Structure 1
Amino acid sequence: MGHNLLKFPNVQEMFKLASEILGYDLLKLCLEGPKSELDKTRHSQAAVLVTSLAAVEKLKDERPLAVENCVATAGFSVGEFTALTFAGALSFEEAVRLVKIRGEAMQAASELTPSGMMTVFYRPDAKINFACHAAEEWCIRKGLQDPVCKVANFLFPHCKVIAGNEEALKFIEMNAEDFGIRRIKHLAVSGAFHTNLMKPAQLVLKEALKQCKINPPLISVHSNVDGKHYRNADIICKNLSKQLCSPVKWEQIMHIIYERPSTTSFPRTFECGPGQSLRTILKMVNAKAWDTSFLVGV
Structure 2
Amino acid sequence: MFRLGPRLLQKWLSQQPAVTCAVLFPGQGSQYVGMCRQLLSVRGVEELFEEAESVLQNGLKKLCLEGPQEELDRTINCQPAVMLASLAALKKLEVHDQQAYEGITVAAGFSVGELTALVASGVMTLTDGLRLVQARAKAMQHACEITPSALTSVTGIDDDQLTQMCQELVTSNEVLTVANFLFPQGRVVSGSLPAIERFEEAASKAGLKKKVKRLPVSGAFHSSLMEPAVEEFKEALSQVKLNPTKFPVYSNVTGLPYKSTHEVTELLVRQICQPVLWEQGMRHMLSNFELAAFYEVGPKRQLRAMLQRIDSAAAQTTKNIEA
The one-letter amino acid of 2:292's match is P
State how far apart, in whole Å, the 1-side matches of 2:193 and 2:106 are. Answer: 37
Contact 2:252 2:277 in 1 (8 A): yes
- Which among 73, 97, 111 is matched to residue 131 of structure 2? 97
The one-letter amino acid of 1:86's match is A
Instruction: Name 1:154's counterpart in structure 2.
Output: 181
State how far apart, in whole Å, the 2-side matches of 1:124 and 1:40 are. Answer: 31
Give the SS at the match of 1:212.
coil
Contact 2:56 2:130 in 1 (8 A): yes
Instruction: Name 1:122's counterpart in structure 2.
Output: 156
Query: In structure 2, do the counterparts of structure 1 residues 124 and 133 end up closer, same or farther at CA, with 3 Å as the change threshold?
Result: closer
Query: In structure 2, do the counterparts of structure 1 residues 237 and 265 end up closer, same or farther at CA, with 3 Å as the change threshold?
Result: closer
Q: Deviations over 1:172-219 (max 9, x none)?
A: 122215667462100011000000100011111111111110112110
- Which among 298, 305, 309 is matched to residue 273 of structure 1? 298
Q: Does 1:13 align with 2:38?
A: no
Query: In structure 2, do the counterparts of structure 1 residues 70 and 266 end up closer, same or farther at CA, with 3 Å as the change threshold?
Result: closer
Instruction: Name 2:273's counterpart in structure 1.
Output: 245
Give the SS at the match of 2:188.
strand
- Normalising by structure 2, what TM-score? 0.86
Note the C-alpha offset of 1:259.
Answer: 1.1
The one-letter amino acid of 1:184's match is V
Q: Quick check: 190-199 or 124-133, which moved more?
A: 124-133
Give the SS at the match of 2:231.
helix
Note the C-alpha offset of 1:123.
Answer: 3.6
5 Å-filtered alignment, 1:132-147, equals 132-136=166-170, 139-140=171-172, 145=173, 147=174
5 Å-filtered alignment, 1:168-183, equals 168-176=195-203, 181=208, 183=211
The one-letter amino acid of 1:62's match is H
Contact 1:199 1:245 in 2 (8 A): yes
- Normalising by structure 1, what TM-score? 0.93
Contact 1:125 1:180 in 2 (8 A): no
Contact 2:157 2:186 in 1 (8 A): no
Instruction: Name 2:217's counterpart in structure 1.
Output: 189
Q: How many residues align?
A: 288
Give the SS at the match of 1:176.
helix
5 Å-filtered alignment, 1:17-96, equals 17-96=51-130
Instruction: Name 1:164's counterpart in structure 2.
Output: 191
State how far apart, in whole Å, the 1-side matches of 2:111 and 2:222 are. Answer: 9
The one-letter amino acid of 2:186's match is C
Q: Unaligned 5+ residue runs, structure 1? A: none
Q: Unaligned 5+ residue runs, structure 2? A: 1-34
State how far apart, in whole Å, the 2-side matches of 1:22 and 1:123 are. Answer: 41
Contact 2:167 2:176 in 1 (8 A): yes
Q: Deviations over 1:39-83 (max 9, x none)?
A: 100000000001100000000111111111111000000000110
Q: What RMSD over aligned residues (CA atoms) do the two structures have, in Å? A: 1.6
Note the C-alpha offset of 1:125.
Answer: 8.3
Query: In structure 2, do the counterparts of structure 1 residues 265 and 33 end up closer, same or farther at CA, with 3 Å as the change threshold?
Result: same
State how far apart, in whole Å, the 1-side matches of 2:158 and 2:230 are. Answer: 34
Q: Kindly report structure 1 stretches of 4+ aligned residues shifted beyond 3 Å.
A: 123-126, 177-182
- Which among 203, 211, 214 is matched to residue 239 of structure 2? 211
State how far apart, in whole Å, the 1-side matches of 2:92 and 2:104 are. Answer: 15
Q: Quick check: 118-127 or 174-183, which moved more?
A: 174-183
State how far apart, in whole Å, the 2-side matches of 1:56 and 1:211 are. Answer: 26
Instruction: Name 2:257's counterpart in structure 1.
Output: 229
Query: In structure 2, do the counterparts of structure 1 residues 245 and 47 end up closer, same or farther at CA, with 3 Å as the change threshold?
Result: same
